[in-house]
Structures are given as structure tokens and as C-alpha cells.
Amino acid sequence: MPRILTDAEIDSLVAESKPLPKNWMTRLRPHTKSNFQHAQRALEVRGEAENWFRIIIRQNAINPLDFSIILAFKDKDGRDFRLCRYNGKHSHTNKLEKADGEPNSSFRNRFHIHKGTQRYQEAGLPIDGYAEITTEYASFDTARQAFVQSNGIVLPGDDEPSLFDGKGGA
């Protein structure tokens, strides 16, 4: 049976400080691949507790409101667990809530944040299958700022323009 992260483990991993290297902006600047409609880039960082994480940024080249900013944990076996995903505007359905007949289990064209949960893993669904509508951000740039503030990301203290404060490129 595959490993299942508990909610407490997920919370601890999200909260762990994740210092970015000085050259993080260059290494995380999204690139458009030929024949693809989105630009993407990933950066691996080591947290203060020696855990490895990947920050993945993806943005649609045609629709700037179609994006994902993902924090993934890489366990010792090399398996990635998406701990959270800050998404742009598109439709989403929380499958467990829909199966339980809960109202508002689906939404369309709203900014939303996916959160890793133990119960979605136990149900055989993607760890980050659950999402909540958010008003924390209204664009790719403001989503990056919210992502940094909520996920233990530590920016280097240098004069490099910041991809996360809207002054750098992406």
C-alpha cells in the first residue's frame, strides 16, 4: 500500500521553513515548451528539517488566469506529494463532498486553493483533490505572494528582483 501522509504531517511539511537559493529567480522563471500552451518551471529546495520540496509554477500562455503554483514534498523514496496548489480560474469538484451530497461541492471559474488531505488519500483520490474557493488573490502575481506567505517560503536577503513580489519576470 502506498504511503499516506497524515493531516498533521502535511501541516508540518507546509509550515517547515524553505529557504530559496540566491539564484532562485533564474531557476524558477517559467519557460514555454514548444507545442505547449503553458510555461512551466520547477525548483527543488531543502527545508530546515532536511526535507526536500519542489515548487512548480505553471501558467497558460493564452489565458493568464489559468495557472497553478504547487508545493510538493519529495519523500525519501522519491515520491512526490502535492501539499497545496494555488490555482487560477477554472472549474473544480470536490469528489468526496459531491458523493456525500454536500451543497457547493463544485464551483466554476473561481480562484481556488487545493489542500493535501489524509482523507482524500485514504479514499484513493489525489492528495490535493480537495479545494476551497479563495479571495486571497486575483492574479498570478498575487497568488505567488499568497503562496510565499502561507507555505514557509523564505526569500534570500539580497538585491535580486523578486519573482514573488511582481518586480521580476514570469
58-91: per-residue pLDDT in tens? 988 888 899 999 999 999 998 999 999 999 999 9
- pTM for the predicted model, two decimal places: 0.87
- Domain annotation covers residue 162: no
- Domain annotation covers residue 44: yes
pLDDT beyond 80 at 162: no
Q: Is the dihedral of CA 85, 148, 13, 30 positive or negative?
A: positive
**For residue 29, what pLDDT is reported?**
78
Domains identified in the chain, total number? 1
- Domain annotation covers residue 169: no
| Alpha-carbon span 85 to 117, nearest angstrom | 12
- Domain annotation covers residue 166: no
Domain that holds residue 55: 7-152
Average pLDDT over all residues of the chain: 89
Torsion angle defined by CA atoms of residues 49, 157, 41 and 88, in that order, rounded to the nearest 10 degrees: 90
**For residue 34, what pLDDT is reported?**
66
Place of cell 483533490: 129
